[in-house]
Amino acid sequence: MTDLLERITVNPGIFGGKPIVRGHRLAVEHVLGMLAAGDEIGTILEGYPWMERDDVLACVEYARRLVAHERVVPRIDTSAV
């Protein structure tokens, strides 16, 4: 998994320092947005011919690691009580 994360870089001159894929002008959040919208990995790769499957997986792993450190407090619905 660590090898995958080497595909994610940060360059202050690109997108204000947001994480990007291998130095290209493609933000990790954009790839995650495409996946969330239902795009398949193959579709993403067709749109970005320079990308590889592991680049997409690196974006998912990057997000997983960020979320792993968050604490989520569920909202309690008191209207049913």
Read off the pLDDT of residues 14-38 as tens digits, 9 standing for 90 and up.
Answer: 999 999 999 999 999 999 999 999 9
Q: 43 in a domain, yes or no?
A: yes
**Tell me: the pLDDT tens digits for 34-68?**
999 999 999 999 999 999 999 999 999 999 999 88
Q: 59 in a domain, yes or no?
A: yes
Residue 70 pLDDT level (bands cut at 50, 70, 90)? confident
Angle at CA 51, nearest 5°, toward 45 and 52?
A: 85
Q: 77 in a domain, yes or no?
A: no
pLDDT of residue 39: 98
Number of domains in the chain: 1
Closest CA to 26 of 2, 62, 59: 59
Domain membership of residue 54 as a residue range: 2-68
- Rounded-to-integer distance, Cα 42 and Cα 52, Å: 10
Q: 79 in a domain, yes or no?
A: no
CATH number of the domain enclosing 45: 1.10.10.10
pLDDT of residue 80: 67
Cβ-contact 24, 58 below 8 angstroms: no
Q: 54 in a domain, yes or no?
A: yes
Q: 45 in a domain, yes or no?
A: yes
Residue 71 has pLDDT above 90, yes or no: no
